[in-house]
Amino acid sequence: MVRSRGTPAGYIRSWLFTIPVAVLATAFMITSAVVTSVFAPGGRWQVFLYRTWASMVLAVFGARVRVRGAEHLQPGQNYVIVSNHLSLVDTPVMLKCLPVPFKFLAKRELLKVPFIGWYLSRAGHLTVDRASLRSSIESMNECARLIRERGLSVLIFAEGTRSMTGEMQRFKDGAAYLAIQSGTAVAPVALVGTWDILPAKDSCFRGGDVEVRIGEPLSPAGLTLKERGAFTAQMEERVRALMEA
């Protein structure tokens, strides 16, 4: 996918308005979430805060979002939510639009980042220690236990990083590992349009339409960890099909 360059006026607006306003909104809302987490560590209040933040920044970005397939996610059920990853805009889109509350699966290094790390820690998001293979496996097993015992839904950008080209990359098998170990269904989600608003390694917000396409869940029942590669390929195929739908 060819990246379209923003206009000079677009870059000026982004740096003088869009980025500063988004940063201030993020700092304010994360501080509010961290402070209030002492009294309300989870539940509806935290969901309200993160969805309010997402609505604010998406409005500043000029992103108009709609959802297809929300009926595939049942209230009261938990999922390993697997999505492609095109842009920094993906995070607020998911926070605003997914119909079930969820936790992020993030690399543990992010806990050291001001504001973001504080929020991840206080809000109970899941982290993976990638310092070594052993620590990675141990932390993934712990995440699977929490998903199973607490009935958590968790969001994973299965490519591991944002696409640099706008095309979907091969999925890593972490989502399959968690789904099989926890016995949790996988909800495939395709994000379409966020690349056009803000491509990777760009700083010009363009505004535009975004669609979140949610597919039918995939069950890991009967699968073993030895089959996680095939299950990962099935997830990837399902997300690709949703992108083209």
Residue whose C-alpha is closest to residue 184's, from 213, 156, 221, 136: 221
Cα separation, 84 vs 190, in Å, equals: 6
Give pLDDT, residue 43: 76
Cα separation, 51 vs 101, in Å, equals: 10
Give pLDDT, residue 20: 97
Domains of the chain: 8-244 (3.40.1130)
Residue with tokens 């379409």: 192
- Beta carbons within 8 Å of 182's beta carbon, 6+ residues apart: 80, 144, 145, 147, 148
Cα separation, 219 vs 186, in Å, equals: 6
Q: Which two tokens stand for residue 195?
A: 């690349």
Cα separation, 236 vs 244, in Å, equals: 13
Cα separation, 185 vs 79, in Å, equals: 5
At 14-64, the pLDDT tens digits run: 999 999 999 999 999 988 888 888 777 667 888 899 999 999 999 999 999
Residue 4 reports pLDDT greater than 70: no
Please give the model's pTM, rounded to 2 decimal places: 0.93
At 164-188, the pLDDT tens digits run: 999 999 999 999 999 999 999 999 9
Residue 3 reports pLDDT greater than 60: no
Most confident of 2-11, 105-114, 232-241: 232-241
